[in-house]
Amino acid sequence: MTKRLLPLILTVSVLALTGCFGNDEQWHGKDISGLMPELEFELVGAGGQTVTPEDSAGDIRLLYFGFTSCPDVCPTTLTDLRKAVNQLPADYRDDITTLFVSVDPQRDTPERLGSYASFFGDHVVGLTAAEPELRELTKRYRTTFGYDEPDADGNYNVSHSSAVYVFDRSGNARLLLRPGLTTQQVSEDLAQLLSEA
C-alpha cells in the first residue's frame, strides 16, 4: 500500500512546489513579488543631503545601479526608461521616480551625479554612498559590483547589475526589468502597475 502511495505523494509535492512559482498577472518583466525585500536605503543625494524612500513615497520607484562613466549600458538603460515613461499618459508620468544609484563613489561626486541624472529627466534622482553602504544595499537586492584595474589614464570599468528593479507605490519589490525589453513593453508594465489601486 505504502509503495503505491509513494508516487502519488511525490507527484503532489512536486506540483505543490511548482505551484508556488505560478503567477496570475501577466508582465513583460520578471515578477519578483515576494522574492525580494521592500525598498529601503539611506543614500546621499546630488545636494549632499540624505535621501530615503520616504522622499519618493507613493511613487513607483525604478532602482538602477550604475556609474556615470559607464560607456553604453547605463545611458542606454536610462534613455529607454525615459522613453517608456514618456509613453505613459501625462497624469502618470510624475508618479514615477527613477533612482540611479552610482556604485562608483570614487569618481561620482554628488554634483557630477546630479547633472548626469537631470540629463535623463526631472524624475531621475542620482544617489550614492560610501562603498560599504553600497555593498549592503546591493546585497539586499542580491546583486553586486566590481572594479577593473585602472588603465594608464586612471580609467576603469565597473561591473554592475544590468536590470532595473521596480517597486510599487507601497515600496514592495514587484518587477525586474531585464535588458532586452522594448520601451513599449516596459511602458505597458509600468501602466499596469500604476493602475493598481
Partner 1 sequence: MPDIGFLAPYDFSPLTILSFALVLAGYGFALLRMAPDQRPGSVRIVAFVVGVLLCYGVMQTRFDYYSQYMFFVHRGQHLILHHLGPFLIALSNPLPIFRFWHEKMSPTLRSWLRPVGWVYRILQQPVIAAVLFVGLIYFWLWPPIHFDAMLSRQLYWTMNWSMLLDGLLFWWLMFDPRSPVLTSALGYGKRILILAAVAIPQMILGAWIVFSRGMVYDVYEVCGRAWPMAPETDQLLGGLLTWIPPAMMSVIGILLILRRAMHEDGRIVKPSRLAGENL
List Cβ neighbours of 123 (8 Å cut-off, separation of 6 or more): 85, 93, 94, 96, 97, 98
Contacting residues for 49 by C-beta, under 8 A, at least 6 apart: none
For partner 1, which residue of 27, 41, 64, 65 counts as binding (CB under 8 A)? 65
Tell whether residue 28 is among the known ligand binding residues: no
Report the residue from 122, 139, 155, 184 that binds partner 1 according to the rule CB under 8 A: 139
Among 179, 182, 184, 196, indicate the residue that binds partner 1 (CB under 8 A): 179
- By CB under 8 A, which span of 32-40, 75-83, 89-97, 119-127 interacts with partner 1? 32-40
For partner 1, the closer of residues 45 and 165 by Cβ is: 165
Q: How far apart are CA 1 and CA 57, in angstroms?
A: 58
Residue closer to partner 1, measured from CB, 164 or 190: 164
The helix (H) or strand (E) run that includes residue 147 is strand 146-147
Radius of gyration of the chain (CA): 20
Q: How far is the CB of 32 from partner 1 (least distance, A)?
A: 6
Does the protein bind partner 1 through residue 161 (CB under 8 A)? yes
Locate 36 and state its grid cell: 525580494
Is 157 a binding residue for partner 1 by CB under 8 A? The answer is: yes
* 143 belongs to the binding site for partner 1 (CB under 8 A): yes
Candidate segments 41-49, 77-85, 104-112, 143-151, binder of partner 1 by CB under 8 A: 143-151
Could you say which of 102, 145, 175, 193 contacts partner 1 (CB under 8 A)?
A: 145
Asked if residue 20 belongs to a known ligand binding site, the reply is no
Indicate whether 159 belongs to the interface with partner 1 (CB under 8 A): yes
Does 26 engage in binding with partner 1 (CB under 8 A)? no
**Could you tell me if 67 and 104 are in contact, meaning their C-beta atoms sit under 8 angstroms apart?**
yes
| CA proximity to 67, closest of 94, 95, 37, 104 | 104
CB 95 within 8 A of CB 194: yes
